[in-house]
Chains A and B, each alone.
Chain A
């Protein structure tokens, strides 16, 4: 596609529910990133894939957060047993270059998660 696509755009979950957020990166982009953006703040890094390999998951806040990119294209961020503090916008970005390069990242519109 022309840009990074994320779905759903909005998700409301009851506390304790599991959610799955999808990211479709730009075709051919090697790198894929997930960020979490709290209201009024800048995005914070969650995890990074190079093709299907998850090379950095240092930003995942707890073991309730899990991400995968099994075929090196579409990625899913899963949050188990959601809690109110998980409420945020989850942004996906893709980049043509590998880690260590000069990657300009192209962002999707994000998924706004509200946990009630």
Chain B
């Protein structure tokens, strides 16, 4: 069974707008990662945030982590049509690094 839950399940925005996706998880974690999946493709790693970090940036991506609330958010700024994809958060437990994924957020960026 999956640990995480993302919300919203689906998000549709105009090109240039910002997109925010949220993820909640249930157990203690070592790291939290965000992955992107284009239709019919494998997952691509976007960003990793360690459990002792609160915020991380990478290009147009900003990730926050609140371990007290067991939640994370992914912000994509100035979205582009090419950002259209499914986005998943994934956590690994302290004792191993198999990933536990949420159900994902489907993002559609309209041009």
Binding site for B on A (CB under 8 A): 4, 6, 31, 33, 35, 40-45, 48, 56, 59, 91, 93, 95, 97, 99-110
Cα-based distance from A41 to B86 in the complex (angstroms): 10
Given known pairs A41-B2, A42-B2, A42-B103, the reply for A103 and B43 (CB within 8 Å) is no
Verify B97–A103 contact, CB threshold 8 A: yes
B61 CB–A CB distance under 8 Å: no
Which residues of chain B come closer than 8 Å to A33, judged between CB atoms? Answer: 98-99
Which residues of chain B come closer than 8 Å to A35, judged between CB atoms? Answer: 99, 101
Cα-based distance from A108 to B92 in the complex (angstroms): 19
- Of B30, B31, B45, B98, which is in contact with the most chain A CB atoms at under 10 Å from its CB? B98
Verify B33–A56 contact, CB threshold 8 A: no
The number of chain B residues with a CB under 8 A from chain A is: 28
Verify B99–A100 contact, CB threshold 8 A: no
- Of A103, A106, A110, which is in contact with the most chain B CB atoms at under 10 Å from its CB? A103
Interchain residue pairs with CB less than 8 A apart (21): A6-B42, A33-B98, A41-B103, A41-B104, A42-B90, A42-B101, A42-B102, A44-B2, A44-B101, A45-B98, A45-B99, A59-B98, A91-B43, A93-B43, A100-B95, A102-B31, A102-B50, A102-B97, A103-B97, A105-B43, A107-B42
Identify 15 new A-B residue pairs, CB closer than 8 A, beyond the known A44-B2, A59-B98.
A4-B42, A35-B99, A42-B101, A42-B103, A43-B88, A43-B99, A45-B98, A45-B100, A56-B98, A97-B97, A100-B95, A106-B45, A107-B44, A109-B42, A110-B41
B48 CB–A CB distance under 8 Å: yes
Residues of B19-48 whose CB lies within 8 A of A: 30-31, 33, 35, 40-45, 48
B59 CB–A CB distance under 8 Å: no
Which residues of chain A come closer than 8 Å to B96, judged between CB atoms? Answer: 48, 56, 99-100
Cα-based distance from A95 to B31 in the complex (angstroms): 15
Verify B100–A110 contact, CB threshold 8 A: no
